[in-house]
Amino acid sequence: MAMYESFARVYDTFMDDVPYEDWSRYLISLLHHYGVRDGLVLELGCGTGSMTELLSGVGYDMIGVDNAEEMLEMAQEKKMVSGRDILYLLQDMREFELYGTVKAVVSVCDSMNYVTEEADLLQVFRLVNNYLDPGGIFIFDLNTVYKYRELMGDSTIAENREKSSFIWENTYFEEERMNEYDLTLFIEDTDGRYRKYQETHYQRAYELSEIQKLLVQSGLKFDAAYDAFTMDSPKEDSERIYVIAREQEKQRGI
């Protein structure tokens, strides 16, 4: 089953505790800090478009890329309601294509952790570098090894809502640094009956040193890493970090 094929239908319901507006204020502050106050911005792994909508709302010309058709259908519905001029593209971030370059690329909600092979992550970084304006900024977040190992691994999360419920079982494989999510959904259909759906997702934990190495290999320049929602350096118990990288090759005429 394709990732988020069933979960897309109830994704926003179960993610309603994510403070998207707070997260967007932090992301916007980073964009401003690095000189990006307007212009074209690409969001990789945009999902149902919650963050894309918020960035568009403060004046950025947004492009959203995701490889889950069902998630983009939700994003398009939000776009129809808001009337915002957002371009959504159904593409795998490992192979995405744009018609030109953008001022910034952003990716949040641990989308990069879903890229579980180093070679694939390197390819994502290379494409980002290719589609950034000279000196353009790349901002993305990551769940940390600490979070998977100490907080998420071997845990079970369950929620019951009015017309849907889920059981989310986590298994962390230390040697591979891979977290497996076994997701069981019960969703009410139009006939009033509940149907069961199952999906399995994988995320990989990366050390910051690995990320820095891959950024350099891709042609990007590593600029900074922050403990999420602060301007402080990551700590041993940071659960999420934000990484800032900059396009540099075009500046040198390469």
Q: Note the pLDDT tens digit of each residue in 184-213.
A: 888 777 787 888 888 888 999 999 999 999
User: Percentage of the chain surpassing pLDDT 70?
Assistant: 91
Mean pLDDT within 226-237: 98
Question: Per-domain residue ranges for the chain?
Answer: 7-143+207-252, 147-204
Q: Which CATH number fits domain 7-143+207-252: 3.30.1490.20, 3.40.50.970, 3.40.50.150, 1.25.10.10?
A: 3.40.50.150
Stretch 114-141: mean pLDDT: 97
Mean pLDDT lowest among 180-194, 206-220, 234-248: 180-194
User: CA-to-CA distance for 172 and 42, rounded, in angstroms?
Assistant: 31
What is the CATH superfamily name and number for domain 147-204? S-adenosyl-L-methionine-dependent methyltransferases (2.20.25.110)
Average pLDDT over residues 140-152: 96
Write out pLDDT tens, residues 90-105.
999 999 999 999 999 9
Helix, strand, coil shares of the chain as percentages rounded to 5? Answer: 35, 35, 35
Residues 6+ apart with CB under 8 A from 110: 141, 142, 143, 203, 240
